[in-house]
Amino acid sequence: MSWRRLVSMGLSYAALLLLAFLFVSPILLMLTGSMKADARVLVEAGSFRAFLPLDVDLQNYRDVFARVDFGRYLFNSLYITGMVVLAGLVVNSLAGYAFARLAWRGRRVLFGLVLAILILPLEAIAVPLFYQVTLFGWRDTYLVQIVPFIANAFSIYLFYTFFLGLPRELEEAARLDGAGVLRTFIAIIVPNSKPVFATVAILSFLSQWGVFLWPLMVTSGEAVRPLPLAIATFYTLPPLQWGDIFAFGVMMVLPILLVFLFFQRWFIRGVVATGIKG
Amino acid sequence: MASVTYKQISKRFADGTTALADFNLQVNDGELMVLVGPSGCGKSTALRLLAGLESVSNGELLINDAVINDLTPQQRNIAMVFQNYALYPHMSVRRNLAFPLRMLKLPPEEIARRIAWAAELLQLTELLERMPKQLSGGQRQRVAMGRAIVREPRVFLMDEPLSNLDAKLRVRIRTEISALQRHLKITTLYVTHDQVEAMTLGQRVAVMNSGRLQQVAVPQLLYERPANIFVAGFIGSPGMNVFASRLQKQASALAFEFAGQWLEVPRNQRFNPEMLAPYVDQPVYVGLRPEAFEPTGSSEAQVELTLTAVEALGHEQLLYFDLSQVSAPNMIVRLQGSSAFTIGDKIPLALHTTELYLFDKMGKAIYTRAEKEKR
């Protein structure tokens, strides 16, 4: 290998390493910080030692459990997010299929509306929504944190585009074989759409796991509040202990990692092409 | 057992295109009817209407004299083999075959019995546990056939089922389909754009163009008595040569113009002077099949034409002649065997005018009444 190539390769590796470090460093900082005594976190923050797990100490984790009912919050978060994801997969896939494949009056207009909702942030409708759920008497429940987020324009759009790409003959064959619309969907479409179900599951899990504003508005006690509100108490109530915050953060990120690992083989896998053509 | 009738069917799509216009066709019980035509002629639409995958705009579809326009695909009991087979990718061959039977809610023993029967018939027994992606093109094709027959449908539809196979396999499976159909005696509609496939497979063949039926007949009659210029040009490989011409009364008989010459119209069972009288001094089209020419010594030659290309196929060769002085750009002549020709030479040709076809200016074939009745 020529010197020239070696140098250029070395440079590109160095640049890539630097970039990789930039992206990984906050997570690394959180992980190492979670295992340090509180005083050291701030002292070492200015130097490279911040990234080194100099003495492994799980005291911060014990503190988190002592200060809040972590298990309760974790259950709330898992329950709310899980329900939103599961119900969302059902509702949004059916909606996406109806828009992609079924012929019905008003389909185009309604789909246009769905696309319009894509650009509407929650903050814009939070207040009217708040009045509505108050009217329903839903404040301080799981329901209020689940139901408004099941139907999701972006998920519908993802399902819609994926279903459009599926070979129409599969559905036509199923219809001729005697399957109705719903049976065709369950027995033929769903098993061949694993990539899009995985994608939607991951994306909606991610966005739901971190919600803060809405539960803050509609809940008050710790009974139904999710993790993001609990970690917020660590910032807002003294004493401000960074080690505890980091430890909480690590425990909050773990489930996301697990979900991603579980779905990633479908997430990465491309479109189904098997069974069609030679 | 079922007969199928298309009664004045038309189909317009939402974008305004007309796929079928005033389409009438009767398929008899147990018959294999081939629909053939160029792409976009409406043949697949005709199939999809019968399957219930598209709705009829006008007219009536009947199975055994019962109107089926408003039945859902499930209620029609029609099976279809798709061009890309449409096997369910996530199911094994066995489960693919079982799917239509499970939809019928048949008892498990009956499902197993029928799968065994179809697998045996189509030589799929060894492949039952495989997934579609592990099968070759020909095997997938057979699975698609199997999924269609296990149900014992009233009508069997095939939409270009061989077009994804290589040439050799196509010929083999063509014979298999033909044998299977004669064995099962299920009324079958078969769509193809390949006229050779249509001629070899069809008990009758329906030729279509631009959404309209051109002619329905047994294969031999399509070749011998085409109803119009389209059928004449579509059936046969290569198709009939058709040229703009005129008829003229000469001393002894009628004559037609060809390549600047006046040649005599033969007097035979197809033509006689009385029936041709209305066409004298009128523009007509003459048709001559590629087989109706023969290179000959210059003394017997009726025309001399410039050779522009030669295609040697081994057992025969195709000669292309430039006829730019006539309306058609070139003319094809088919010869048995092989002999040496030089491109650019003037070749003397004799015409078998007994094999002449005449078409009126609308493109409709001119036959004597007796011939028409034969059709």
CB contact under 8 A, B87 and A275: yes
User: To the nearest whole percent, how much of chain B has pLDDT over 90?
Assistant: 51
Same domain, A154 and A21: no
Measured distance CA(B112)–CA(B94) in Å, rounded:
9
Q: Which pLDDT band, with edges at 50, 70 and 90, does B143 fall under?
A: very high
Contacts of A223 by beta carbon, 8 Å cutoff, 6+ apart: A72, A140
Residues A109 and A13 in one domain: no
**Per-residue three-class SS string for chain A:** CCHHHHHHHHHHHHHHHHHHHHHHHHHHHHHHHCCCCHHHHHHHCCCHHHHCCCCCCCHHHHHHHHHCCHHHHHHHHHHHHHHHHHHHHHHHHHHHHHHHHCCCCCHHHHHHHHHHHHCCCHHHHHHHHHHHHHHHCCCCCCHHHHHHHCCCHHHHHHHHHHHHHCCHHHHHHHHHCCCCHHHHHHHHHHHHCHHHHHHHHHHHHHHHHCCCHHHHHHCCCCCCCCHHHHHHHHHHCCCCCHHHHHHHHHHHHHHHHHHHHHHHHHHHCCCCCCCCCC
Instruction: Choose between B139 and A266: higher pLDDT.
Output: B139
Q: Bigger pLDDT: B237 or B47?
A: B47
Same domain, A76 and A133: yes
Given pLDDT bands bounded at 50, 70 and 90, which one contains residue B346? confident
Mean pLDDT of B192-196: 92
pLDDT at B251: 78
Examine the domain organization and report whether A8 and A118 are in the same domain.
no
Chain A: residue whose CA lies nearest to B48: A172
Task: Establish if A8 belongs to a structural domain.
Answer: yes
Q: Taking residues B79-86, what's their average pLDDT? A: 92
Q: Does B85 contact A276 at a Cβ distance shorter than 8 Å?
A: yes
**pLDDT > 50? residue A277:** no
Residues A217 and A96 in one domain: yes
Higher-confidence residue: A90 or A25? Answer: A90
Asked if residue A113 belongs to a domain, the reply is: yes
In a shared domain, residues A93 and A131: yes
Residues A73 and A196 grouped into a single domain: yes
Categorize the per-residue pLDDT at A46 as very low, low, confident or very high, splitting at 50, 70 and 90: confident
Residue A266, domain member (yes or no): no
The confidence band for A276, taking pLDDT boundaries of 50, 70 and 90, is very low
Res B94: pLDDT: 96
Q: Residues A154-206: pLDDT tens digits?
A: 999 999 999 999 999 999 999 999 998 999 999 999 999 988 998 899 889 98
Domains and CATH numbers, chain B: 4-225 (3.40.50.300), 233-374 (no CATH)
The conformation of residue B269, written as its DSSP 8-state character, comes to S
Mean pLDDT computed over B57-84: 92
Q: With respect to residue A252, please indicate whether it lies within any of the assigned structural domains.
A: no
Q: Please determine, for residue A97, whether its predicted confidence score (pLDDT) is greater than 90.
A: yes
Confidence band, pLDDT 50/70/90 cuts, at residue A209? very high
Specify whether A112 is located in the same domain as A214: yes
* A55 shares its domain with A85: no
CB crowding B189-224: b at 16 or more within 10 Å, else e: bbbbbbbebbbebbbbbbbbbebbbbbbbebebbbb
Residue B201: the pLDDT is 93
Q: What residues pair up with B241 in beta bridges, in sequence order?
A: B288
**Mean pLDDT on A49-66:** 82
Residues of chain B that touch chain A, judged by Cβ-Cβ distance less than 8 Å: 51-53, 72-74, 78-80, 82-90, 99-100, 103-104, 131-133, 136-137, 140, 147, 151, 164-165
Put simply, the answer to whether B51 touches A169 (Cβ < 8 Å) is no
- Report, as an integer, the average pLDDT of A214-231: 89
Domain assignment of residue A248, yes or no: no
Nearest to B100 among A177, A272, A276 (CB): A177
Chain B positions touching A172 (Cβ under 8 A) are: 51, 53, 73, 80, 82, 86
Overall average pLDDT of the B116-123 stretch? 92
Domain that holds residue A177: 68-237
Average pLDDT, chain A: 87
How far is A90 from chain B, CA to nearest CA, in Å? 20
Instruction: Flag whether A216 is in a domain.
Output: yes
Of B82, B89, B103, the CB nearest to A179: B103
Mean pLDDT, chain B, whole residue set: 88
CB contact under 8 A, A188 and B147: no
Q: What is the mean pLDDT of residues B223-234?
A: 92
Are A92 and A112 in a shared domain?
yes
The rounded percent of chain B whose pLDDT value lies above 70 is 95
- The answer on A84 and A35 residing in a single domain is no
Count up the domains in chain A and report the number: 2
* A48 and A127 belong to one structural domain: no
